[in-house]
Structure formats: structure tokens, C-alpha cells
Amino acid sequence: MVRLVLAVSLDGRLAPASGGAAQLGGAGDRQVLDQALSWADACLIGAGTIRAHRSTCLLRDPALQQQRIDAGRPPQPVAVVVSHRNSFPQDWLFFQQPVQRWLLAPEPAAHGFNRWLPLQSSWPERLAALQLAGINKLVLLGGAQLAAQLFQVDGVDQLQLTLSPRILGGANCWIPQQAMTLPEALQQPEAWQLEEMTPLQDDELMLRYVRRREGFNLPPSVG
């Protein structure tokens, strides 16, 4: 199961028009991000995102970390980097953070990663390989290109958006603006069901939608 987790502006931007790392969410968004990280077996991170931030999001809440440990899970989800390259500067904070680092790439890295998985030709194959490796619940933290690739194969099961009350403009949309073909099924009004709607601090709002799939009927639980 893949959950895409993003903080976006009211006009659907991830970052200001001037660019830079996406950092829109406030304290409330941090709490719901921690909850998503606690749920996940792993975080899926695009190469562009890891290069922009040079680190990954850690689960900060000690109580949620302890819940994972009590359940026999590591305190942090695995960080899975998806890249067509296998070389990254080892002085990045990412390589000092207390996480298991996996690389999904054509070739293994010489340093810095605990495990390598070959980059299969399609996303269904990649997700199947991760599942065989014990990763059943994935949080996707970006970037936009990676999210678009998964939407193109209808590979996103949950969509968690924190709306930040600002208008940013520019081209940094959470789905790229260039022409792309999405499955027709995603465009139908019944494709997604609202599972959670939570007001957060500073007038932010978290919305979580679940992908309705054939034979799947989720009871409403908005609150």
C-alpha cells in the first residue's frame, strides 16, 4: 500500500515560485506526518528530493517510536531512495541519520546504503520487489516526478494532503504541469473516498483520501 503525503498551498504548489526545498507544513502537519511515518514500513524518496533536502524526514515523536519498538519494528521506517544513479555525496546528513538506507537503482552503491534492490523496468515490478523484501506499507514523500510516475500506473492507494493557507503561484505543482497521461479511472468522481478530514494549527487542513478499487467499499469515517 502506497500513501502519498504532501503539504501543499491552496493553489497546489509544493514550494514558492523561486524554488527551493518544499517546507510548507507547520506544527500540525508535522504531527500528522509523524503518524504516517509511524504507520509505514518505509519511506519512498525520489532522487531529486534527496538531492534537494540531503536528508530524510525522521519520526520524531518518542511515543510513536516506542510503539513501533513494542511491536517489534525498528523505531524509524526504512528510507528507500529511487534513483538511476548510485553515487551520492557521503557528507550529506542523510548518511548520518539513524535509519536503514535502501537503494533502488540499476547498480549497487559502493557506500552508504544497507541494502540494494535492482531498479526494475516498471513500478508494479518495483513495488512487488519491495513487498517481497518485507515492505508492505510505503509513505511517498516526493518528489513530484516520482508521484506522477506512480499515478500513471494507478499505484497510489492513499492520498494525504495538508493544505497550507497561502497562494504561491509558479510551476512547482505537486503533479508536474507538463503533458502526461493518467489512467481514466483516476479521473472519475468515484475514484477517491474521503477517509479523514482534520483541522490543524495555523488554519491548515489535513485531507486523507483512499483509492476506491474494484470490489472495495470503504465505509465513511470523516471526522
Phi, psi of 44 (to 5 degrees): -100, 120
Per-residue exposure over 158-191, b if at least 16 CB sit within 10 Å of its own CB, e if not:
bbbbbbbeeebeeebbbeeeeeeeeeeeeeeeee
CA nearest 141: which of 128, 131, 156?
156
pLDDT in tens, 43-101: 999 988 898 889 999 999 999 999 999 999 999 999 999 999 998 999 999 999 999 99
Domains of the chain: 2-211 (3.40.430.10)
Report helix angle 27-39 to 62-70, nearest 10.
10
Q: What is the pTM of this model?
A: 0.89
Inter-residue contact 138 to 43 (CB < 8 Å): yes
Question: Which pLDDT score, from 0 to 100, does residue 15 have?
Answer: 77
d(CA 80, CA 46): 9
pLDDT of 151-206, one tens digit each? 999 999 999 999 999 998 888 888 876 657 888 999 898 999 999 999 999 999 99
